[in-house]
A and B are shown apart, each in its own frame.
Chain A
Amino acid sequence: MAETAGSSVKARSKQALQDDFLRKAVKFTTERLKNGKRKATEEHGNWEEWRERGRQIRLHTIAHLDYYLNLFADNARKAGAQVYFARDAAEAAVITREIVREKQARSVVKSKSMVTEELHINHVLEEMDVAAIETDLGEYIIQLAHEPPSHIIIPAIHKNKQQIAEVLSEVAGERLEPDTQVLAGFVRRKLREQFLAAEIGMTGCNFAIAETGSIVIFENEGNARMCSTLPKTQITFMGMERIIPSFEDLEVMATLLPRSATGQKLTAYMSAITGPRRTADGDGPEELHIIIIDNGRSRQLGDPDFQELLNCIRCGACLNVCPVYRHIGGHSYGSVYSGPIGAVLTPALMEDPSEWQDIAYASSLCGACWEACPVKIPLHDMLVYLRNRKVESGTTPTAEQVMFKGFNYMMSDHRRLERFLRLGKVGQKFVARDGYIRIKGPLKGWTNYRDLPEIPKQSFRDRWKELQVEIAQQPRTKTMIQDIEQRMRKVLEERSKGGGSGGGHQE
């Protein structure tokens, strides 16, 4: 899926913008999710207090991550799980391969997990000639279509019913009607066979409870429960930051995550799994392997600008409110994680972020992502830090560098600026029409998508003297509220007396 990394966000989004259905589908879905969230949070009430509590729990856990992660690993082992620490995709692959070989697995059923996408586990299994079957309805569809997910919650958001019917008909060997019930019914039957036949079930992990060594999975379909109930061996992949201290803390996460993701009070299933099946139990996996993944996450620890990224609970609320995501869709970001969180997380996870940094520009810095975030991650600030680091690393295009040097030179002296504007006023006569400059030239990065207003005949600075006279001549209108005016007068008097530095509160 990283294959798309070669082209730029601009190129990929251009393609996405030309796909009319994609754009409408993304807008339709994100709109619904967004409204669902608003309704759920308003209904629940005290949303700000819940957000703040969620943020505090995440901050506390990450600040003491060595303690809590250690406690989790110890407790999970006590419950009978086998726990591994994998630094990167290569180490995760070594562990996975060995377990798969040992179990002589022919097929693996998987429930939705962004981490396994990140690690390319399907590719590892493919190389071993082991079938890796995605069992989340949306993931199953895009796996059959050989496409990467385009939304963290609704991975097949970019496909319509007809397209889905075509893909599934091929598997069924007969023509399936483009009807949701028919299509879902087919997938249910088909995947049921796979669940019962697979030797290994793979899952992700939403939260891991340090004090009990439990993993917690939120889902709506029941496929993660299948993966963790039917196969004899379960492998769970977990980002090292998924930890929370206790089940009590889970109440806060269970309040924030489903409401932010889909507007539900709780997902249809929330499962807490502690170790493999007990000896006398009749079902559940005989072996539970938990692979804890770093893969670039620890790089954010101790980084004042980016540490809060580790607080993310992967709800997707920032995608649904992002004006850029809503237009260009998930694939344009060219990585596993899309939207505002992806724009920050992807470079932050990379060892060499320079090649990915153009996605930091796929945002309007409006701050809607921060407002939507249930744990208040300041994503818009982080996007600015990323841009800043790119400039500092000297990897911005030469033209941009020259332009900003020039801008700096010009703006640091008002006489210089005036001379330049006077020159511009003459120069633009050749290119300005009806008050706008529409040519594509050195300014095309800007003028391709919007018109540049022409330089006005008179600048504000030109008009300033004139304006001052005008104000002085005007009869004093009584627009200002009396007491405010009095206070301001008092400040002015004090200032003219030389008392204090002015500006502070007087009363």
Chain B
Amino acid sequence: MADTRNKQGSGKARAIYASKERQDEWMQAIADRLGRPRITEMPQHPFRGAPDFWRAYDLQQEERINLFMNNWTNLGGHAFRMSSMEEVGRFLLDFVRETGAQKLMQRQPELMGLGLAEALHDVECTVWDSSAEEMIDEAAQADIGVVVVDHAAAYTGTIVVLSSPDKGRSTSLLPRALVAVVPASAIEASLGPILKGLDARPKDQLPAGVHFITGPSRSSDIENDLTIGVHGPGIVYALVVG
């Protein structure tokens, strides 16, 4: 029990379930059941991914922006088109001043350049700091989380955020309101190109958390009555820039 020399947990009772022998035994048992020798070479997969007609699906950038904003609004979110990051900065200042809200922001260069922390000395504005021990508590206190998204998909009305030392997963999850800055160039027509991009990344460069967010948090668990914001943010803004 006290022996912790191996990350897989050798020396612990559960180690046998995590062993290479057990894994091989399982795979052999599956092959036996299927009545053939074990397959160790990558098989031909003729049906990989979406049907052909769907691969051809694409939209012009303006169409993508409109479809994304329509879908986001239909889901119960708010969508605004902005011409520049300066406009985003003004929106955030107004929003925070009017609501007196505490704000949490990802440490992204686009956001850092807005000078919000300086402009907002009268309200609390925290910038994500992965080395800070109490970061999660800070996030839990915040009313508004601000992120610049990595991707968006027009067809489903989805934003995609990837975790990194500068981008906490909590920022898009814990605050009551989420403000997502969506660069127009990040909007794809559908999920396809974004997912293919994940396949294409070198394996050691895949982030721990890839989160696809489609509108506000919702539940229909009480008499099938739609409730917004039951755990995640209930108020979600998408600010499309460009």
Contact of A246 among B9, B49, B231 (CB under 8 A): B49
Q: Does B93 touch A at the CB level, under 8 Å?
A: no
B231–A221 touching, CB < 8 Å:
yes
Known: A63-B34, A282-B132. A69 touches B49 (CB 8 A): no
- Contact between B230 and A298, CB atoms less than 8 A apart: no
Determine whether B17 belongs to the interface, using a CB cutoff of 8 Å to chain A.
Answer: yes
A269 touches B227 (CB 8 A): no
CB pair B221 A137 closer than 8 Å: yes
A300 to chain B, nearest CB (A): 9
Given A282-B131, A284-B208, is A85 in contact with B22 using a C-beta cutoff of 8 Å? yes
Q: Counting CB contacts under 8 A, is A254 at the interface? A: yes
Q: How far apart are A420's CB and chain B's nearest CB, in angstroms?
A: 47
B38: chain A residues within 8 A (beta carbon): 66
Q: Is A361's beta carbon under 8 Å from chain B?
A: no
Question: CB distance B206 to A79 under 8 Å?
Answer: yes
Instruction: Report chain A residues within 8 Å CB of B51.
Output: 46, 49-50, 52-53, 252
Cα–Cα, bound, A271→B158 (Å): 12
Verify A183–B222 contact, CB threshold 8 A. yes
With a CB–CB cut-off of 8 A, which chain B residues contact A273?
208-210
Which residue on chain A has the smallest CB distance to residue B173? Answer: A225
Min CB gap A293→B, angstroms: 11
Residues of B within 8 A of A436 (CB): none
Distance from A262 Cβ to chain B, minimum over Cβ atoms (Å): 8
A249 vs B46: C-alpha distance in the bound complex, in angstroms?
A: 11
**Of A184-192, A335-343, A395-403, A460-468, the one touching chain B:** A184-192
Decide: B196 and A222 in contact? CB cutoff 8 A: no
Measured CA separation A254–B212 after assembly (Å): 11
Contact assessment for B217 and A282 in the assembled complex, using a CB-CB cutoff below 8 Å: no
Q: Answer whether A269 and B18 are a contact pair too, CB < 8 Å, given A82-B9, A246-B49, A283-B170.
A: no
Chain B minimum-CB-distance residue to A59: B47
Whether the pair A247, B196 counts as a contact (CB closer than 8 A) is yes
The listed residue (B30, B129, B207, B227) touching A298 by CB distance below 8 A is B30
- Nearest chain-A residue to B171 (Cβ)? A283
- The distance from the CB of B194 to the nearest CB of chain A, in whole angstroms, is 9
Once A265-B71, A266-B214 are accepted as A-B contacts, the answer to whether A226 and B223 lie under 8 Å apart by CB is: no
Q: Mark B32-48, 1 if CB is under 8 A from A, else 0.
A: 01110011111101111
- Beta-carbon contacts of B201-221 to A below 8 Å, as 1s and 0s? 001001111111111111111
B136 near A196: Cβ-Cβ < 8 Å: yes
Total interface residues on B, CB under 8 Å, equals 91
Determine whether B120 belongs to the interface, using a CB cutoff of 8 Å to chain A.
no
Taken residue by residue from 218 to 237, chain A's Cβ proximity to chain B (1 for < 8 Å, 0 otherwise) reads as 00111101101110000000
Alpha-carbon separation in the docked complex, A64 to B7 (Å): 29
Asked if residues B169 and A283 are in contact (CB atoms below 8 Å), the reply is yes
A82 to B12 Cα, complex, angstroms: 13
Contact of B14 among A57, A63, A79, A99 (CB under 8 A): A99
A84 contacts B230, C-beta separation under 8 Å: no
- A66-B27, A69-B30, A251-B49 known; A281 and B230 CB under 8 Å? no
Stretch at the interface among A152-160, A426-434, A481-489, A492-500: A152-160
Inter-chain CA distance A228–B173, complex, in Å, is 11
Cβ-neighbour of A211 out of B12, B29, B199, B224 (below 8 A): B199
Residues 143 to 163 of chain B near chain A (Cβ within 8 Å): 155-158, 163
Cα A221 to Cα B215 with chains together (Å): 11
Does A278 interact with chain B (Cβ within 8 Å)?
yes
What residues of B have a CB within 8 angstroms of the CB of A264 in the complex?
Answer: 214
Bound together, the chains give a CA A319 to CA B39 distance in angstroms of: 36
What separation, in Å, do the CA atoms of A240 and B40 have in the docked complex? 18
Query: Are B23's CB and A137's CB within 8 A?
Result: no
What residues of B have a CB within 8 angstroms of the CB of A196 in the complex? 136-137, 140
A39 at the interface (CB under 8 A from B): no
Counting CB contacts under 8 A, is A470 at the interface? no
Collect the chain A residues with CB atoms within 8 Å of residue B233's CB. 222
Q: How far is the CA of A180 from the CA of B225 in the complex (A)?
A: 7
- Residue from B41, B131, B211, B223 in contact with A180 in the complex, judged by beta carbons closer than 8 Å: B223
Contact partner of B169 (CB less than 8 A), chosen from A25, A180, A276, A284, is: A284
A262, B221: Cα distance in complex, Å: 12
Contacting residues, chain A, for B215 (C-beta < 8 A): 268
* B232 and A284 form a contact (CB under 8 A): no
Q: Does A65 contact B (CB under 8 A)?
A: yes
Q: A136-B221, A160-B223 are in contact. Are A282 and B168 (CB under 8 A)?
A: yes
Does the CB pair B198–A247 fall under 8 Å?
yes
Bound Cα distance from A92 to B177, whole angstroms: 38
Question: Is residue A302 within 8 Å, beta carbon to beta carbon, of the partner chain?
Answer: yes
Bound state CA distance, A220 and B227, in angstroms? 11
Contact string against A for B residues 187-200, beta-carbon threshold 8 Å, 1 for contact and 0 otherwise: 00011100110110
| A256 → chain B closest CB, angstroms | 11
- Contact call B13/A94, Cβ cutoff below 8 A: yes
Would you give 13 A-B contacts (Cβ < 8 Å), ordered by A? A66-B31, A70-B40, A75-B203, A83-B23, A85-B22, A95-B17, A184-B222, A255-B50, A266-B191, A274-B206, A281-B168, A283-B139, A284-B209
Q: 10 additional contacts, CB 8 Å, given A65-B34, A268-B75, A283-B136?
A: A66-B31, A67-B41, A83-B23, A188-B229, A251-B49, A265-B156, A274-B207, A277-B208, A282-B129, A282-B165
* B-binding residues in A (CB < 8 A): 25, 28-29, 32, 46, 49-50, 52-53, 56-57, 60, 63-67, 69-70, 73, 75, 77-79, 82-86, 91, 94-95, 98-99, 102, 135-138, 141, 154-157, 160-161, 164, 180-181, 183-184, 187-188, 191-192, 196, 211-214, 220-223, 225-226, 228-230, 240, 245-252, 254-255, 262, 264-278, 280-284, 294, 298, 301-302
Those 3 A-B pairs whose CB atoms lie nearest each other, nearest first: A222-B232, A282-B130, A138-B221
